[in-house]
Amino acid sequence: MSTDLRDLILERMSPLVPVLNAVMAKAVTVAEHAMTDAAEIEAEYRTTRVHVARAKARSLLTARDLGAWQVDENQAKNAALHLYSDDLVLRFLHSPTVVPSPGTNLARRAWYTNTPMMDNARLFEEPERLLLIWAADFAAGTVSMRAVHPIGTWKYGEKARIDLSVPLDDEDVFASSFDTRDEEEDLDMPTRTEAAEEEDERDASA
């Protein structure tokens, strides 16, 4: 793994972790309260809470001082939320179980195609693209997040091609568990419902 890239991710993301936890917890709580009065909508569309939480998170992050990070205002409001910081870009992606495959969309496939950290001799010619994978217990108002560095594409049902996966649930945990993975991530197959939600989320987050 490139020490430079490891240090950059650790340095840039450490102060962002507590902000992300506060913002996402607030966002999912707002989404849950909104759906209390619109249960029939959620029953039909399934992912309404996710979209409301993402919109609220975008609003909260835009209003916050994020230090070295900024919300990418070039992204459409109904598209995936991006944060960028010079040499890093962080794409929010909801998934209740695994790192979702990129599908066939060319833009998503390009996002997943980073140079592996061990081979990344030409660092920072373009920003490194990270995924922020998040899942929520909306009723409890809690969120689980992790940062992932994808190094290629894979088909649905195959193992995720990543060489970094670190939790973002706590700043100290993030720093202490910052580790690389040379092997592919073990795959928990999603349920049919989770797979459908993944497809819905990908369609709305091109």
At 114 the three-state DSSP class reads coil
Query: Distance between CA atoms of 35 and 33, rounded to whole angstroms?
Result: 5
Yes or no: say if 5 and 180 are a contact pair by the CB < 8 Å rule. Answer: no
Using an 8 Å Cβ cutoff, are 166 and 147 in contact? yes
pLDDT tens-digit map of 153-184: 988 888 889 988 888 987 777 777 665 444 44
For residue 156, the cross-strand partners are none
Residue type, 90: L
pLDDT tens for 91-115 read 999 998 788 888 888 888 888 988 7
Structure tokens at 28: 């999912």
| Burial bucket for residue 94 (CB in 10 Å: 0-12, 13-18, 19+) | buried
Q: Which residue, chain included where needed, has tokens 């990270």? A: 130
Which of 1-10, 25-34, 63-72, 102-111 comes out lowest in average pLDDT? 1-10
Percent of all residues in the chain with a pLDDT value above 90, rounded to a whole number: 36
Q: How far apart are the first and last CA of the chain?
A: 29
